[in-house]
Amino acid sequence: MTVEDQQMGMLPEGSKRILGRSAQRLNILIGYAVANTIKTTLGPKGMDKMLVSDLGDIVITNDGATILDEMNVEHPAAKIMVEIAKTQDKEVGDGTTTSVVLAGYLLKNAGELLDQGIHPSSITNGYLLAAKKSGELLNKLAHKVSIEDKEKLNKIAGISMGSKSIGLGDSKDYLSELVVDAITMVAEKKPDGNYVVDTDLIKLEKKEGGSIKDTKHVKGVVIDKEFVHSGMAKTISNGKIALLECPLEIEKTETDAKIQITSPDQMKAFLDQEEKMLRDMVEKIKNKGANVVFCQKGIDELAQHFLAKAKISAVRRVKKSDLEKLARATGARIVSSLDDLAEEDLGKAGKIHEEKISGESMVFIEECESAKAVTLFLRASTEHVVNEVERAIVDAMGAVSSAIEDGSYVTGGGSIEIELANELRTYANEVGGREQLAVQAFAEALEIIPKTLAESTGMDAIDTLVALRTGHTKGEKSLGVSVHAGKNEDMEKLGVIEPTRVKKQAISSATEAATMVLRIDDIIASKGKSGGPQMPPGGMGGMGDM
């Protein structure tokens, strides 16, 4: 009996196992297949993917993270690639396609080195050295940008959302300005002079109908609710806002209780007492000077009537997250009990109004002084388009906030990748040994970005690469692929710039994922409870035949 047979004997019947070089080949093949699937979506001329779920829901996008998330892959190596996209999306909000494509080509090049008899440890060591050197080079090649430099920040936002289908036309510039305005409003300066941006303070509210140009930046909050009573004012100037976590209704006791009423007088007294309690609640709000109430819980119908009589407009069942944004936007304090409500707890807004949009009422809280929470109200003709606008805005928010926090950017259009590749080839000679081959393979993988941009534009990929390498060798560090002009141009002059952090994170995530996959020499799929193996032995669910 062989050692392998002995090892299989300890596993449940029906388990699958792939060993050694076969396991490495399979994982590399799957990783490369994932990269190839989304490679065509890279850049402003990238193509879209239509993803149809089991229920028939359709998603049309070229956002890398969304595509991989919707594809529902099954093979574990493919799931690692999905994790790269999720990490990139969470950390910087942009560059998901770049990170996955780079990881796929790092694996492909590693496979060629394995075929030459180079040990996986030598390859992973070389890749890690190249990634570290790339980080150092990015710091050296980066340019400075500040929060006051709106022009450069607008360009960063525009490049980030340029690959989305909404990037066609002049709507991209319009949306870029909205994103930069929103980010600069919520950015907070730290004692050391740097800025920190919490993108959660920017609420994205979307509604289909209208055009992309109807999208607007609200210096305040938009609530997808309506005022609770028809008698309440629909437009309030100089709003004084109370934010309540407590209900404006008579709460029922948690324990079982009975009230015994034996006469009509007692019944009337009981109802009068309930009415008095509700009237007192409204009186407390009125006495503090509030003319608008946002309540996280319910508001009794009788309380609604009293509020309307007191000329107080109210919204009920407001989400906790929206209450917190209202507090940041208006300066109000969220109150848990009406007895704690004080005049200084009230927030202020210049204008509060209810609007009917696409048949649904929404409340706009605008003109908030020094608002630290804002809303981007997204509009587009159909549900699919407005969803893609949202994805583009999220990417742009991530890119702009990264640029502001780090205070640096690099040139795009594949120029930074070519420059890194050139520098890494020189560095490979310093490394020596077998690791230098891995460093060279890393440099070659980086060049897939400008190569793919050239392919999506219809340019000759080989000629473009040769011309870029020659230009960068002569010192033209900003030379990259101008996808709109269909030729190589200076990216700095064109304003094609990206945050340094996007590139750093993409290289870091791709390297870690590739080295993790390369270290695997044994795949064991145990028998699941249903009787079948938990992992397909050589496929990737949801990806078809690649």
pLDDT for the residue 191 = 87
Closest CA to 247 of 212, 295, 213, 207: 295
pLDDT for the residue 269 = 67
* Cα gap 78→71, rounded to integer Å: 10
CA distances in angstroms from 305 to 246, 266, 301, listed in the order given: 18, 24, 6
Query: Mind listing the pLDDT tens digit for each residue in 150-190?
Result: 899 999 988 888 766 554 456 788 889 999 999 998 888 88
pLDDT for the residue 544 = 40
Residues of the chain with CATH 3.30.260.10: 146-219+371-406
Given a contact cutoff of 8 angstroms between Cβ atoms, the answer to whether 101 and 38 are in contact is yes
- Amino acid identity of residue 366, one-letter, is E
Residues of the chain with CATH 3.50.7.10: 223-370
Which CATH superfamily, name and number, covers 16-142+410-525? GroEL-like equatorial domain (1.10.560.10)
CA angle (495 as vertex; 493, 499 as ends), nearest 5 = 125
* Cα gap 528→372, rounded to integer Å: 51
CA distances in angstroms from 259 to 272, 275, 291, listed in the order given: 15, 17, 36
* Structural Rg of the chain based on CA atoms: 29
Q: Residues of the chain whose pLDDT is less than 70? A: 1-21, 163-170, 251-259, 262, 265-266, 268-272, 370, 522-546
Given a contact cutoff of 8 angstroms between Cβ atoms, the answer to whether 134 and 507 are in contact is yes
Rounded to 10 deg, the angle between the 461-473 and 415-431 helix axes is 70
DSSP 111: H
Residues of the chain with CATH 1.10.560.10: 16-142+410-525
Neighbours of 423 (CB within 10 A): 18
Given a contact cutoff of 8 angstroms between Cβ atoms, the answer to whether 73 and 540 are in contact is yes
CATH T-level fold of 146-219+371-406: GROEL; domain 2 (3.30.260)
pLDDT for the residue 507 = 93
Length of the chain: 546
Residue positions annotated with a catalytic role? 63, 96-97, 395
Residue carrying structure tokens 């109000």: 332
**DSSP assignment of 82-97:** HHHHHHHHHHTSS-HH
Given a contact cutoff of 8 angstroms between Cβ atoms, the answer to whether 16 and 533 are in contact is yes
Dihedral angle of Cα 98, 103, 105, 109, to the nearest 10 degrees: 150
- Amino acid identity of residue 172, one-letter, is K
pLDDT for the residue 533 = 42
Phi then psi for residue 455, to 5 deg, are -65, -40
Write down the CATH number for the domain with range 223-370.
3.50.7.10
pLDDT for the residue 164 = 65
State the pairing for strand pair 313-315/408-411. unpaired
Closest CA to 26 of 520, 544, 531, 410: 520
Rounded to 10 deg, the angle between the 96-115 and 20-39 helix axes is 150
Closest CA to 171 of 375, 378, 364: 378
* Cα gap 23→522, rounded to integer Å: 6
pLDDT for the residue 19 = 61
Expressed in percent and rounded to 5, the helix, strand and coil fractions of the chain are: 50, 20, 30
Dihedral angle of Cα 233, 234, 235, 236, to the nearest 10 degrees: 40
* Cα gap 106→421, rounded to integer Å: 13
pLDDT for the residue 532 = 43
CA distances in angstroms from 453 to 162, 470, 481, listed in the order given: 13, 18, 7
Given a contact cutoff of 8 angstroms between Cβ atoms, the answer to whether 426 and 130 are in contact is no
The count of C-alpha atoms lying within 13 angstroms of the C-alpha of 438, restricted to the half-sphere facing its C-beta, is 28
Tokens for 453, please give them: 């941009």
